Chains A and B, each alone.
Chain A
Amino acid sequence: MDSALIPEGVKRCSFGKFALGIIIVGGVLLWGVYAMLLVWLKGLNQTNMNDFYGFALWIWADLGVIALGGGAFFTGLLRYVIGKDELKNIINCAVLIGFICYSSALLILAIDIGQPLRGWFIFWHANVHSMLTEVAFCLSCYFAVLTIEYIPLILENRQLNKVPFFHNLAHNMHEVMAIFAATGAFLSFFHQGSLGGVAGVLYGRPFAVREGIFIWPWTFFLFTWSAAAYGPCFTLFVTRLMEKITGKKLVKQNVINLLAKISGWTMGTYIIAKIIDTWYWAAATAPALGLNLIDFYSNNPFYGIWILIAEIVVCGVIPAAILLTPKGRSNSTLLFTAVSLACIGVLINRWVMVLQVMAVPVMTFENWVMYIPSWQEVATTILPVAYGVILVMISFRYLPIFPQERELNP
């Protein structure tokens, strides 16, 4: 039915099967849209946010998808600026994931601000003393960059590419992509960093506050570093998942190995820096504020020391060790385990830096405050996941996402 639109030389499932998949995921999407409309029409009273939790599930999801989408800027930097040419075989996938992650982040923010019609205020009436203003600027600009990186991929659709103007536009955009990739890396450095910086400058929150250099707390650098380390892991995770679902090899092993190796080194160095940061915070910063490490992990029903071990050891040291060894990288089960753990690790990191920060008591007369999101918050958080799955399905079916697919599946 739609065979004229499918890239030449590759096989796809029947249109009926594809449409059924879209309908099933579309049902989840509609549930999220319903919750989103409730929030927009009835207001933020649809959430379980309160005076303790001004930042909640949505901001965690925002920080999470932005970190996971970091594969786009880092892979783009490696491919177009540093010149790792092999990565041209996975960059389309990284761009697609980045586009989905950043559009999701903007969608979540549009729900979170309560009055999306006033979203432009942050640009026009900018508070130049806020790191979140910088985040909004860089996030919006970088989304524009990702759209520019995604457009040539759309124009390379079998039918669209027959139109001479579209063909030329895709070609010319590829020619100057290094400029866009460099701009994207610049923007990503600052917004990833500032998201961490926001936590690090919360002087009234001993769990989050860090020392640093000049105006930037250490969390600024740790967030950028972690996005560069863990983002490519999500690209590898999605690629492997697509290979499992389609039953096809989509990217050659040497490309996977290269990205996994770079990711391993970035993650290894990041986790060392994170351990040093945690140790210094536990040994010097927090005691100077009258608290001990265990104060942040006891007397509450959820946040035990397990979360620190899970983040740093299980989902940090272990995946880094696997990715750093040639045997670990070449074993597909170990590789998939490592990238899965890494993705969980960065999500735990963002969770504690958003939610645990809010939960920890800051006054002597306060207790821990727990938070359970409302179903509307959960539905609107799952909404971008469903949207992402649909966009991946459509892109994989109609666009040449994986240049090596035809060669690997003759």
Chain B
Amino acid sequence: MFPFSFEWIWDVGHMVFMGGLWYALTIIGLGMTYCILKSVIDTMQGKGGHHH
């Protein structure tokens, strides 16, 4: 649910619940975006050709 949904009410319940969900999803999304972008850059720079 987003603030533009018709059920949305600007109260503590909606802000805490939905805010918590978006917060967690943002961390997960940003974390994975960082990993994927860095991996693309690393690969383009020729890293990762050998095992650890």
Residues of A within 8 A of B (CB): 123-126, 128-129, 133-134, 137-138, 141, 144-145, 148, 161, 164-165, 167-169, 171-173, 175-176, 179-180, 183, 186-187, 190
Query: A145 contacts which chain B residues (CB < 8 A)?
Result: 28
Query: A144 contacts which chain B residues (CB < 8 A)?
Result: 28
Do B42 and A125 touch (CB < 8 A)? no
**1/0 contact trace for B17-42 toward A, CB 8 Å?**
11011001101100110111011101
- Chain B nearest CB from A177 CB (Å) reads 9
- Chain B nearest CB from A133 CB (Å) reads 6
Do B17 and A126 touch (CB < 8 A)? yes
CA distance A167 to B7 in the complex (A): 45
- Chain A nearest CB from B40 CB (Å) reads 7
Query: B5 contacts which chain A residues (CB < 8 A)?
Result: 124
- Chain B nearest CB from A196 CB (Å) reads 18
Number of interface residues of B (CB under 8 A): 30
Do A173 and B35 touch (CB < 8 A)? yes
CA distance A187 to B23 in the complex (A): 11
Contact for A128 among B17, B43, B46, CB less than 8 A: B17
- Chain A nearest CB from B1 CB (Å) reads 5
CA distance A125 to B8 in the complex (A): 9
Known A128-B13, A179-B27: A172·B20 in contact at CB below 8 Å: no
Can you pick out 10 interface pairs between chain A and chain B where the beta carbons lie within 8 Å of each other? A128-B13, A128-B18, A137-B17, A148-B31, A165-B48, A168-B43, A173-B35, A180-B31, A183-B28, A187-B24
Tell which of B27, B39, B43 has the most Cβ of chain A within 10 Å.
B39
Query: B28 contacts which chain A residues (CB < 8 A)?
Result: 141, 144-145, 148, 180, 183
Do A128 and B35 touch (CB < 8 A)? no
Do A148 and B32 touch (CB < 8 A)? yes
- Chain A nearest CB from B3 CB (Å) reads 13
Query: B24 contacts which chain A residues (CB < 8 A)?
Result: 137-138, 141, 183, 186-187
Apart from A176-B35, A180-B28: 8 A-B pairs, beta carbons within 8 A: A126-B1, A137-B21, A164-B48, A172-B39, A175-B35, A183-B24, A183-B27, A186-B24
Do A126 and B31 touch (CB < 8 A)? no
CA distance A169 to B48 in the complex (A): 9
- Chain A nearest CB from B44 CB (Å) reads 10
CA distance A186 to B24 in the complex (A): 9
Contact for A168 among B17, B31, B32, B47, CB less than 8 A: B47
- Chain A nearest CB from B8 CB (Å) reads 10
Query: A138 contacts which chain B residues (CB < 8 A)?
Result: 24
